[in-house]
Structure 1
Amino acid sequence: MRKGLTLIELILSMVIIGIVFTVIPRLIMSMNQSTQTTLKEEAMYNAMAQIGMVLNLPWDNNNTQNSQILSVNTGDAAYDCNTTSGYRIGGFIGGRNCITPPLESYAAGAIGQEADGLSNDIDDFANTDINVTKNCSNGARGLFGISTTVAYVNDPAAAAVIALGTAPLGANQYSNTKYIEVHVGLGTDHRLYDPNKQNCITALHYHSFNIGNIQLNTEQWPD
């Protein structure tokens, strides 16, 4: 009975061991990269769904029951409804809810959720975090987060070239423009968008304007 290995068997064993120690780490690295890519894709999809949901809500809490343009205290006067002509810049007679109900009879409210506790308008989602945790087989956890901020910003100048602002106005200052940001990233990097952060994925931006809610008038078809 043979008790040793031939030279050929020894060489083959060394080759197999070399292949194993070369390929397996690469496979593990590739699987980890694939998992990270999948996690980032899922985070992006959820962030897009979040901003889509927010933008489908009324502009302000007072728009949940009243459709007209709301009055603001720090807006550009160029966007005010003209009480004489019934016009608003960019609108038409009777349009943009400038005449009925009574002109700007309701004021825009503060950023944040109202006492009713409902998330039924855009700014109810200000400063909210959504953290998603997944338990892995080895007990480690993969985490990504989505953070939403909403703030009043300066109205764009009524000019040929429109510049949209992003700097929040001061306390108790309300304009015709709300700026929405949705940040998404791994770990805690979602709370403030910084492309230089290793785990930051991206940020979604949108400006929403005080134009009231669209109403459709109906008429009975004549017999």
Structure 2
Amino acid sequence: MRSAMSMLELVVAIVVMGIVVMSLPLILTQVQNNNAFAMQQEAILAAKAKIGDILTYEWDDKSYDATAQRSFVLDTTNGDPELGRIGTTNQRIGHINADNRRKLYDATVALNNRSASAIGSDGGDLDDIDDFSGLPAIALTVTAGEDAQNLDYIFDLNLTTTVTYAADAANYTSSTLGTFVLNPDNNATITNIKTISVQVAGAQSAITLRAFSCNIGESTLLPSRPYQ
């Protein structure tokens, strides 16, 4: 008796093959979606890393005082008056008049040396946040012969950084904060808030992440004390 494929087995084989063929478009679509999602996540990661790096720099090139070894709050020409110095003191509203606290430069310091700078006006020496504004796009590209698995980024990405001032004025009622509308693209001149925008191109569509840095200075580190 010769062995042969029964009609039932043939029908089952045809059905299985049909299901597989019909599934191929869905599989290809899912692969494309996964690749797009991976590129998007790669772009977001690149932008977050760039912003994190920029935020480690001084708020302004005049913020840090090497003699005092601390960053000071700066005077701003268009900042909210409520955030300006109190009279001729080195405090603003909310500051504590004590050593090792956040403060402005003393009023005896020349105004030009204690006032915040316009974006990019200090020569672009990469010592503060706004020096990164307008720099040529940074390409994160995998070239032929490189092992993509050992690199942080495996897609072609271009990062462009823009730093602007954002309006910081708010409405007050009887010295109580009423409303405050933050417009990161305001491009106001020398306020107390800087907007850092990093745009990533190359991930199918441009992605922009923003972060904000404020003119708050820093407190002096207390001297270390020996254990008793």
**TM-score for the superposition, normalised by structure 1:** 0.69
Aligned partner (choices 87, 94, 101) of residue 91 of structure 2: 87
Aligned to 2:40: 40
Secondary structure of the residue that 1:78 maps to in structure 2?
Answer: helix
Aligned to 1:152: 165
- Mapped to 2, the partners of 1:43 and 1:17 lie a distance apart of 39
Contact 1:79 1:88 in 2 (8 A): yes
Note if 1:208 corresponds to 2:213: yes
Secondary structure of the residue that 1:36 maps to in structure 2?
Answer: helix
Alignment deviations for residues 145-168 of structure 1 (CA, whole Å, 9 cap, x no partner): 443321012223274243323243
Q: Cα 1:81–1:13, aligned 2, differ >3 Å: closer, same or farther?
A: same
Percent pairwise identity: 27
Aligned partner (choices 70, 73, 83) of residue 69 of structure 1: 73
Q: CA RMSD in A?
A: 3.7
Quote the offset at 1:59 in angstroms.
Answer: 0.1
- Mapped to 2, the partners of 1:14 and 1:112 lie a distance apart of 69
Contact 1:156 1:165 in 2 (8 A): no
Aligned partner (choices 163, 170, 176) of residue 181 of structure 2: 163
| Stretch of structure 1 that moved more, 76-85 or 141-150 | 141-150
Letter in 1 for 2:33: Q
Q: How many residues align?
A: 203
Secondary structure of the residue that 2:210 maps to in structure 1?
Answer: strand
Note if 1:107 corresponds to 2:115: yes
| Stretch of structure 1 that moved more, 119-128 or 12-21 | 12-21
Aligned partner (choices 138, 141, 144) of residue 130 of structure 1: 138
Contact 1:113 1:119 in 2 (8 A): no
Structure 2: state its 5+ residue gaps: 145-153
Secondary structure of the residue that 2:140 maps to in structure 1?
Answer: strand
**TM-score for the superposition, normalised by structure 2:** 0.68
Note if 1:97 corresponds to 2:110: no
- Mapped to 2, the partners of 1:155 and 1:7 lie a distance apart of 79
Contact 1:55 1:122 in 2 (8 A): yes
Structure 1: state its 5+ residue gaps: 191-199
For CA contacts below 8 A with separation 6 or more, give which structure has more relative contact order: 2
Q: Cα 1:16–1:133, aligned 2, differ >3 Å: closer, same or farther?
A: farther
Contact 1:58 1:213 in 2 (8 A): no
